[in-house]
Amino acid sequence: MSSKKIQAASFANKDVEVVGREIVYHGFFKMEKVELRHRLFKGGWTESLSREIFVRGQAVAAIMYDPENHLVGLVEQFRVGALDILQGNLTSSPWLYEVVAGMTEVDESPREVILRELVEEAGMVPDKLLPICEYFTSPGGTNETLVLFCALGNLRHVGGIHGLPSENEDIKVIVLPEKEVFDQLYEGRFSNAATLICLQWLLMNREGISNDENDMQKPSDE
């Protein structure tokens, strides 16, 4: 396999000129309107453009995995964005299977966030956290980035209903045999990017994962 690095991006922040920025909505979430122009691949600059940004910031998520018992842990909860949706293989239910997730607060590291969220949403204190990746969720319209982890631990006694009543959370923990999950990976039940990315990573790397730090092999990055 070639070790040649992928070429860096053609432009950087200095190649964007922000003419104006205003908050057009601020409720549970925030929306900004940005006036800008940027450099063109063929040379020169665009005309002034108006774009709306859904301001979310950084989120953190983790797939729960028990390598000794070959179990995968997910959460099920209501998502308003999936209300009345039926497209292709997607479920028509707005209750989705997801990974544990939360938003980064001021001065919090991604690791601190996910350790807190694992307790709040699943009652799990992991033995070990493995980093997976970081990515933009939908950069055409939001500034949100998502940092993904794999949380290792014994899932035989993980379950129940969790969440913060103050945030109206009603979260059910689902623990499934890994074979059942991987056999149904693309049948529509795991229908959001973070969950699919985590499960695909786990499918490729699970043979090198162990709870015992002394036995831990480096997961494949190929």
As annotated, the active-site residues are 167
Kindly tell me the burial class for residue 73, based on how many C-beta atoms sit within 10 Å of its own C-beta (0-12, 13-18, 19 or more): buried
Task: Name the nearest CA neighbour of 162 among 174, 153, 173.
Answer: 173
Residue 8: Cβ within 10 Å count: 7
Q: CA neighbours within 13 Å on the CB side: how many for 109?
A: 5
Tokens representing 127 are 């033995």
Would you state the torsion angle of the CA atoms of residues 166, 170, 176, 179, taken in this order, to the nearest 10 degrees? -100
d(CA 62, CA 117) in angstroms, rounded, equals 9
C-alpha distances (whole Å) from 151 to each of 46, 78, 148, 162 are 45, 23, 10, 17
